[in-house]
């Protein structure tokens, strides 16, 4: 572990416990090269009314802040089924991997990640228990989830466009902001530039997987 990583983690852990005091402790997991935060979080509705408490563990790799956090729900209040986004070990699917990888590249903050990802995940699970649906819509899994991310989040129009986009990024071809976009629909800066820069932060390995899956699932 680098000393600066330790100091940053300890500072941010203190800030986290100031807001979530039941996350009372952390240990060092040398096997996984990570800190393991243990404790509970109380969930309230938007009006501050108490809903429930979850016992959780948060695995924070030593590479913090450039890492992906893994969260495990311990007391099995959430059914271990795919559509609830919790696996058989209680590992929570907080978001599509692409967004988490971008956060890893840019660097995360414990308290921000808790407020933006972890707490909303558990609040949404309780909403599901009450309403039979998630407050922010349903997220698909496996390739269908990847397709949904490209089409809904990145506003890609078709599988063909997704393949063209991924092939361009992986080719490492460079375009100027005012050049014609690789899709030939307009200037690069007004077309795919922002999407390309975002996906570059996802990393080559995931983009290669995406490209293979889009080609295998090609249907339009």
For the chain, which residues make up each domain, given as ranges? 3-131, 142-216
Q: Residue 58 pLDDT > 70, yes or no?
A: yes
pTM assigned to the model: 0.85
**What share of the chain has pLDDT > 70, as a percent?**
97
Place of tokens 């090269």: 33
The whole-number pLDDT of residue 18 equals 93
Alpha helices (H) along 60-158? 97-106, 110-113, 119-131, 142-148
pLDDT, tens digit (0-9, with 9 covering 90-100), for 106-142: 999 999 999 999 999 999 999 999 999 998 777 878 8
Q: How confident is the model at residue 24 (pLDDT cuts 50, 70, 90)?
A: confident
Q: Are 38 and 25 in contact (CB under 8 A)?
A: yes
The whole-number pLDDT of residue 1 equals 54
The whole-number pLDDT of residue 139 equals 81
For the chain, give the mean pLDDT.
92
* CA atoms of 175 and 191, how far apart (whole Å): 12
Q: Are 20 and 9 in contact (CB under 8 A)?
A: no
Whole-number Cα distances in Å, 141 to 33, 93, 145: 28, 10, 4
Q: Are 22 and 41 in contact (CB under 8 A)?
A: yes
- What's the gap between Cα 143 and its chain centre? 16
| Neighbour tally for 16: CB within 10 Å | 23
For domain 3-131, give the CATH number: 3.10.110.10
Q: Are 12 and 111 in contact (CB under 8 A)?
A: yes
pLDDT, tens digit (0-9, with 9 covering 90-100), for 159-208: 999 999 999 999 988 999 999 999 988 999 999 999 999 999 999 999 99
């Amino acid at each position: 572990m680098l000393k600066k990583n330790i100091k940053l983690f300890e500072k941010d852990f203190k800030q986290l416990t100031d807001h979530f005091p039941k996350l009372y402790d952390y240990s060092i997991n040398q096997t996984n090269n990570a800190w393991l935060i243990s404790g509970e979080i109380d969930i309230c509705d938007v009006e501050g009314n108490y809903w429930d408490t979850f016992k959780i563990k948060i695995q924070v790799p030593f590479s913090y802040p450039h890492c992906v956090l893994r969260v495990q729900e311990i007391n099995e209040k959430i059914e271990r089924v795919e559509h609830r986004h919790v696996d058989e070990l209680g590992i929570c699917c907080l978001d599509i991997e692409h967004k988490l990888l971008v956060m890893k590249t840019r660097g995360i903050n414990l308290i921000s990640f808790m407020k933006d990802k972890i707490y909303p995940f558990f609040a949404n699970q309780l909403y599901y228990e009450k309403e039979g649906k998630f407050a922010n819509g349903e997220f698909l899994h496996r390739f269908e989830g990847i397709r949904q991310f490209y089409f809904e989040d990145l506003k890609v129009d078709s599988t063909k466009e997704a393949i063209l986009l991924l092939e361009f990024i992986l080719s490492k071809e460079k375009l100027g902001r005012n050049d014609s976009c690789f899709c030939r629909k307009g200037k690069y800066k007004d077309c795919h530039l922002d999407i390309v820069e975002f996906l570059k932060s996802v990393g080559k390995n995931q983009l290669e997987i995406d490209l293979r899956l889009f080609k295998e699932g090609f249907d339009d």
